Amino acid sequence: MDAEWAQMSIVQLRTELVKIGAKTLGRKAELTISLGDYFRNSNFQGPPISLPEEQPMPNWPHFGFRSVTLDTWNCLPKVLHEHVEQYVVTRQVMDKRSSCDHGALKRGKKMDDSVEALSFLKTPELVFFTGIVSAEMKKHVSYNIKITVDQSSGEVQNSACECPAGKGPSATCKHIVCVLLLLVKFTSGVRKFVEDPGKIVRDAGLVIDPAVPFLAASPDGFVENEESLLEVKCPFKIREEMPSINNLDFLHLDSNGKSFS
């Protein structure tokens, strides 16, 4: 069947995906994979399976949340990529077990636009996040997520999701990763740059040198209206100082004296 689907046009693939209620966005290769996944899993309608009972998130509050907006980002702890990898891969949480969930980390990075809502509640020690993430495969399906982050360090403490892989209180499914990476993006220097009037920043992905195609880079963003790349660095040696050409010898001002290279 895989060979048969590979021969279909994009229109035909989307028609088949519509019949089974699946998403129809993406390139031909992605549509082919989606269609194959549905048939291999009997359209995800196999016999019911027993799932472990969901464990409650410890000390989870039930009211007082407010929406995460540009006006509220400044009061949130800074979450780093290192925090996400520590939590998802080495699982440095309450149960002290190693997860090595590289799959969730990889899939979560591809779900940039899947977060439908995100709210938070800040306490002196912890920040509680709750939100809604749309399913990657099924249309009109979404999952509620819960995440606890340390207020001072930004380290992830606990998480849970309604999906089968996300049963808490220390789940590491792709929906959890998706939200964590969103927190990384908007509590980092990228957010500060985006808020600058006149800046239009898009995700850059992997940039390959056309002249030397085995060389590539993955900058933090592409400044659309300036045709330049954005790269955010946080040098540890000047963590208590303002970056400048005086304390970072690899920085150089451009000819206009406005941008660093």
The residue-averaged pLDDT of 35-61 equals: 67
| Strand bridging mode 207-208 / 201-202 | unpaired
- Report the alpha-carbon distance of residue 119 to residue 61 in Å, rounded: 12
pLDDT above 60 (res 200): yes
> What is the model's pLDDT at position 93?
46
> What is the model's pLDDT at position 94?
45
- Report the alpha-carbon distance of residue 132 to residue 145 in Å, rounded: 6
pLDDT tens track for 228-242: 777 766 555 565 566
Residue ranges in 127-242 assigned as alpha helix (H): 174-186, 189-194
Give, rounded to a whole angstrom, the gap between the first and last alpha carbons of the chain: 52
Of 77-81, 106-110, 133-137, 251-255, the range with the lowest mean pLDDT is 251-255
| Strand bridging mode 207-208 / 216-217 | antiparallel
pLDDT above 50 (res 167): yes
Higher pLDDT: 206 or 60? It is: 60
pLDDT tens track for 123-146: 999 999 999 998 877 667 889 999
- Report the alpha-carbon distance of residue 42 to residue 196 in Å, rounded: 49
Three-class SS state of 64: coil
pLDDT above 60 (res 117): yes
